[in-house]
Amino acid sequence: MAISNIQLGLLDLSRTTLALAFVGLLAVAVPALAGPQTMVIGYLGEQRKLPLSLGPLDEAVTDDGLQGARLGIADDAGTGRFLGQQFRLQEKVLKPGEAPAEAVNAFAAAGISFIVADLDAAQLLQASAASGAQRMTLFNSRDPDDGLRQENCRRNILHTIPSRAMLADALAQYLVWKGWQHWFLLTGPHPDDLAMAAAFRRAATRFGAQITIDKPWTFRPANGRADTGHVTLQTEIPAATQVGDYDVLVVADEADEFGAYLEGRTALPRTVAGTQGLVATGWSAVDQEWGATQLQDRFHKQAGRWMLPSDYAAWLAVRSIGEAATRLHSLDPTAIAKYLRGDDFLLAGFKGQGLSFRPWDGQMRQPILIAGPRLLVSSSPQPGFLHQRTPLDTLGIDLEESTCRF
Amino acid sequence: MQILITLVLMLILVPPAAAETIYVSNEQDNTVAVVDGATMTLQAAIDVGRRPRGMALSVDKKTLFVAEGDDNRIDVVDLAKRQVVGQLPSGADPEFFVVHPDGKRLFVANENDNQVSVVDIAGAKIIGTVDVGVEPEGMAVSADGRAVACTSETTSMVHLIDAATLELIDNLLVDTRPRAVAFSVDGKQLWVSSEIRGTVTVFDTATRAQTGKIEFEVPGIRREGVQAVGIEMSRDGATAYVALGPANRIAEVDTKTFTVRRLYLVGQRPWHVALSDDQKQLISANGNSGDISFIDLENQEVVKSLPVGRGPWGVVIGP
């Protein structure tokens, strides 16, 4: 559609004119956008600064999330073509600092009821508060912030990306299952690192592990790619990890600044787990179990790179809408929004069991992969961690501890 | 003395179990295990291509076809020689396939290509393709050879294909992630298993109306742990056997009432099941425990489990 081009062309105009022109144009375009048998799903992303590439094998990716949503549309169309249902993605990527409300309202004016919100927490909350979002469902496919599932939960947000609590619980279960109960927690300086560390501490308490050493990472990020950079690291890391005994080093470094330097350099010969080393994640390119091979293959064919956790979360969002439309034989957004949150909804997500949304905070229940750099190591929940509803609810914030009030 | 003679006579008169051979595809070690049905012992492992899963016998039962998912081909195994003697094209990533009753064609599900390929066995070439849903998997052919059925996992459908014209007759929506499909013995019903819902849906082949739905409850196992995969129909048409995957059970289903008569506890994660020719023994290929289970159907008990390799998946019984 030409709509996105028109949007770009209008950006230079004054704000008022822009808003008015916008609504007018989109209103005219509605019939073409959403015919009786076509579901248009919005994708709202934001331009991000590329992270510092740590190693030569790291690929710079600028379209993570978006590619997952596109593959979801292709998969929805697979069933849709037999049922007379068409699916289309309307894409909008915000510039750095651009507020999301206008884009959300434009989507609403275009008759869009579901948005893959590939946004950070603050942007997501703004998007959900936009007037156009009040009758929408936004899928958080990006931010693992536990607050979004707790005090900052919103009635119109479902979360397909796992929360930090889920990731930490998944890793904790595996480490406890291994008998590695004494952890050395090493935390980076950024707010996200502190949040991840808090989730690890909570998980340790829940599953009977002990954080025997709890230290912040105080060294400046070293660049291992500098010529002879390894020489610096070889002396720095043993010094930073010169602590008492422990079973496993759990690292909280979401910015990927130092965690990858730990493996093979710690003072004691210990495994590294957490945000680097043995990672807990919603998705990993190393997984080929539960039929994942086919999903990985067709993603790679489409995107020319491996599927990342944010791609998978966006794919889950689009597939959830498709699955609901299939089961309901309908593209009615009200019916779909209700069905998604109901007991009957079950999505096949290549993780060995059906996935569904928790009614108390809108989080998608899902197994969490425990992945090594080349191979899948395990998948949580681990055997023996029981729950009165489903073992999947041993991961993350449970009904009884939820402070979410929609 | 007389009793003893009678006993000896009885032993002589009772025919020994038919000499049958069980073939099991091991998807993780790239072999087909050869098991003697009478002694329940492992006889050989035939080296085949990479990731063998679906298997089927030729109409004369002298050849075993094995789908090699990672090699994009079908291996032809001479059962007398117990070795691969040829290869057939299959299209990309073959998972399951059926031999058409005409003995001349294979219908192959291409899991990565969203299509079914039709292979001419004698000419070793693909003579047709049919576009189906995303991730085709289960395949079945009606006894009269007129209809071929294929499930597509991500599309949650079973597709009915006219075997002569290769046109889609119908596409039926089923429960999430359908795996296996089977025609009833009289061809009047189509049975489709759903892995994620853990159900089997039954359709009338002629009207395509849903006529039954079977749900499986396994004591002590939650809904998500009960997943329906392989289906085998008894020759008398009275019973269907359904492998329940991570529930580690095989369900015996009454085909008239659609009720579960009993559950057999087998090895871990049974994928597929096969009946012996005399219909008295059922074999399950158990993916996670690396073995097969022998179920004595007369006495209704699992009598033996036998390690056969890494990742047993398909099972076929031949002479």
pLDDT per residue as tens, chain A (406 positions):
333 333 333 333 344 444 444 444 443 333 344 445 899 999 999 999 887 777 888 888 999 999 999 999 999 998 899 999 999 999 999 999 899 999 999 999 999 999 999 999 999 999 999 999 999 999 999 999 999 999 999 999 999 999 999 999 999 999 999 999 999 999 999 999 999 999 999 999 999 999 999 999 987 766 555 666 777 788 888 888 999 999 999 999 998 988 999 999 999 999 999 999 999 999 999 999 999 999 999 999 999 999 999 999 999 999 999 999 999 999 999 999 999 999 999 999 999 999 999 999 999 999 999 999 999 999 999 999 999 889 999 999 999 999 999 8
Q: Residue A359: which H helix or E strand, with range?
A: none
Q: A353 and B225: CB-CB below 8 Å? A: yes
**To probe the interface with A, which of B111, B112, B224 has the most A CB atoms within 10 Å?**
B224
Q: Please answer yes or no on whether A82 and B114 come within 8 Å at the CB atom.
A: no
Does the pLDDT value for residue B4 go beyond 50?
yes
| CA pair distance A174, A247, nearest whole angstrom | 13
Query: Which of A75, A352, A390 is the closest to B134 by Cβ?
Result: A75
Q: Do B197 and A347 touch (CB under 8 A)?
A: no
Residue B315, pLDDT above cutoff 60: yes
Give the pLDDT of residue B8.
Answer: 52
Looking at domain A34-162+286-366, its CATH class is alpha beta
Task: Report yes or no: B41 and B27 within 8 Å, Cβ to Cβ.
Answer: no
Contact residues, chain A to chain B, C-beta under 8 Å: 75, 78-79, 82-83, 291, 294, 297-298, 323, 326, 346-348, 352-354, 390-392
Contacts 24+ apart (CB under 8 A), B108-112: B108/B67, B108/B74, B108/B139, B109/B54, B109/B136, B109/B137, B109/B138, B109/B139, B109/B150, B110/B136, B111/A294, B111/B69, B111/B135, B111/B136, B111/B137, B112/A294, B112/A297, B112/A298
Locate the chain B residue with the closest alpha carbon to A82.
Answer: B171
Select from B132, B172, B134 the least CA-distant residue to B154: B134
What architecture does CATH give domain A165-281?
3-Layer(aba) Sandwich (3.40)
Confidence grade of residue B5 (pLDDT, cut at 50, 70, 90): low
Mutate to test the interface with B, among A71, A73, A75, A82 (most CBs of B within 10 A): A82
Residue B82: pLDDT band (50, 70, 90) is very high
* Fold (CATH) for B85-173: Thrombin, subunit H (2.40.10)
- Amino acid B137: pLDDT: 94
DSSP A154: -
- Residue A347's beta-bridge partner residues? A355
Task: Please compute the mean of the pLDDT values over residues B30-51 and round it to a whole number.
Answer: 97
Structure tokens at B311: 């990742």
Q: What is the pLDDT of residues B164-218, one digit of tens each?
A: 999 999 999 999 999 999 999 999 999 999 999 999 999 999 999 999 999 999 9
Are residues A136 and A156 in contact, defined by beta-carbon separation less than 8 angstroms? yes
Contact B196 A298 (CB under 8 A): no
Q: Where in chain A is the domain with CATH 3.40.50.2300?
A: 34-162+286-366, 165-281
Across the interface, of A82, A347, A391, the residue whose CB is closest to B157 is A82
Cross-chain Cβ contact A346/B176 below 8 Å: yes
Residue type, A406: F
The alpha carbon of A213 is separated from its chain's Cα centroid by a whole number of angstroms, namely 29
Pick from B155, B169, B222 the residue to mutate for testing the A interface (most A CBs within 10 Å). Answer: B155
What's residue B79's pLDDT?
97
Could you give the percent of chain B with pLDDT greater than 70? 94
Please give the pLDDT value at position A232: 77
Q: Is the CA virtual torsion A347, A350, A351, A353 positive or negative? A: positive
